[in-house]
Amino acid sequence: MTLTSPAAFSDHPTAQASGLVDPFGRHVTYLRVSVTDRCDFRCVYCMSEHMSFLPRKDLLTLEELDRLCSAFVVKGVKKLRITGGEPLVRKNIISLFRSLSRHLETGRLEELTLTTNGSQLEKYAGDLKAAGVRRINVSIDTLDAQKFRTITRWGDLSIVLKGVEAATRAGIGVKINAVALKGVNEDEIDDLIRFAHGAGHDLTLIETMPLGDIEGDRTDQYLPLSVVRARLLDRWTLEDIPFRTGGPARYVRVKETGGRLGFITPMTHNFCESCNRVRVTCTGTLYMCLGQEDAADLRAPLRESPDNGLLFEAIDAAIARKPKGHDFIIDRRHQRPAVARHMSVTGG
Ligand code: SAM
Ligand code: SF4
């Protein structure tokens, strides 16, 4: 991959790394980048079975993704999460990790990480570790192989579990993410806690968000984590802890296992006040909020000039418009998704 030298970035007059600060005084230090909208699974809450994907020509090349991420790093982003779609199905994706790892070496970037469904992890765990990835999130909603197939439509739990083992062997910390689904895995939360904590992994529970059309009724899936948490208290001792990973999860320690349990509650608790994140899609569209439609095109300034001036200006202008927050609602009166784009487009 041809790389733009970090010096070429930081020397630019508009690149001064005083940081990205939005109108509400929040520092944007965390960028999530979706490198593909494609996936080898079709999770029921995320995609419809017959998704149409973007034409490949619309996607940013790996070189463009590197340039874009590097521009954000120069602007003060400290944590970079590569996501998708399924990031590990993008051809040559490891070369992007390798090239971005130079920012870890300079100390500008504190963390390079990834959210994955785990299907390709067995193959890539060693390469990811070599590129400086120290922690990853792996999505596992159930430990029942049949149910896993039903939720993901195309996934194989045993392959994902082998991937988690390979990552652990490679020395990568694994956090398990599970979306709480009414009537699907709500009876399995205890097992997920025992499994994750027993193997030394953190576990984070996520509420379903109304993103994109899924050929189904989201009121059937939505399970408030306030309900899950109240039920857990019958069997577990949950101790609030100040632990944070720079993301939206709030953590407790489960006294009986000693492990950490996170809750991501975009629906029941508005987590916007401390939002430090923005997201870029695989076509270079910057979304300042997961739950709002406003966006900025970064592909045009990227392609317009090899100099990064236009790109930096577009990033600054977008951050100046970052909204205060979102307001998701899932109920029978709100049948349309709150936001038309799927999570696999914006990057979860
Ligand atoms: N394919 C990778 C994976 O599944 O981990 C990365 C992308 S996926 C969009 C990132 C995370 O978003 C996953 O943990 C997934 O469970 C979650 N997710 C997808 N659609 C969601 C929705 N509508 N509400 C809440 N979480 C969602
Ligand atoms: Fe694919 Fe991840 Fe969406 Fe599941 S949640 S369909 S694995 S992008």
How do the domains of the chain map onto residue ranges?
Answer: 19-346
> Which pLDDT score is estimated for 348?
59
Measure 347 CA to ligand 1 centroid, in angstroms: 8
Mutate which of 89, 139, 185 for ligand 1 pocket (most atoms within 8 A of beta carbon)? 139
Average pLDDT for the chain: 88
Beta pairing partners, 295: 287
CB of 86 closer than 6 angstroms to any ligand 1 atom: yes
> Which pLDDT score is estimated for 51?
87
> Which pLDDT score is estimated for 206?
93
CB of 114 closer than 6 angstroms to any ligand 1 atom: no
Measure 210 CA to ligand 2 centroid, in angstroms: 15
> Which pLDDT score is estimated for 6?
46
Q: Residue 138 in contact with residue 163, Cβ under 8 Å?
A: yes
d(CA 50, CA 42): 9
| More confident site: 178 or 290 | 178
Measure 62 CA to ligand 2 centroid, in angstroms: 21
d(CA 53, CA 250): 33
Q: Residue 316 in contact with residue 14, Cβ under 8 Å?
A: yes
Please report where in the chains the tokens 């909603």 appear, as a residue.
141
d(CA 239, CA 253): 5
Q: Contacts for 226-232 with beta carbons within 8 Å, 24 or more apart?
A: 226/265, 226/268, 226/269, 228/180, 228/186, 228/189, 229/263, 231/189, 232/189, 232/190
Q: Residue 86 in contact with residue 36, Cβ under 8 Å?
A: yes
Q: Tens digit of pLDDT for each residue in 97-138?
A: 999 999 999 999 999 999 999 999 999 999 999 999 999 999
262 token code pair: 């996170």
| Cβ atoms within 10 Å, residue 233 | 9
- Looking at the chain, the number of H-run helices and the number of E-run strands are 11, 12
SS3 239: strand
CB of 348 closer than 6 angstroms to any ligand 1 atom: yes
Measure 152 CA to ligand 2 centroid, in angstroms: 8
> Distance of CA 185 to CAs 26, 59, 73, 121, 154, Å?
35, 35, 38, 24, 18
pLDDT at 42 over 50: yes
CB of 136 closer than 6 angstroms to any ligand 1 atom: no
Q: Tens digit of pLDDT for each residue in 60-87?
A: 999 999 999 999 999 999 999 999 999 9
Q: Tens digit of pLDDT for each residue in 154-192?
A: 999 999 999 999 999 999 999 999 999 999 999 999 999
The CATH architecture annotation of domain 19-346 reads: Alpha-Beta Barrel (3.20)
Measure 200 CA to ligand 2 centroid, in angstroms: 24
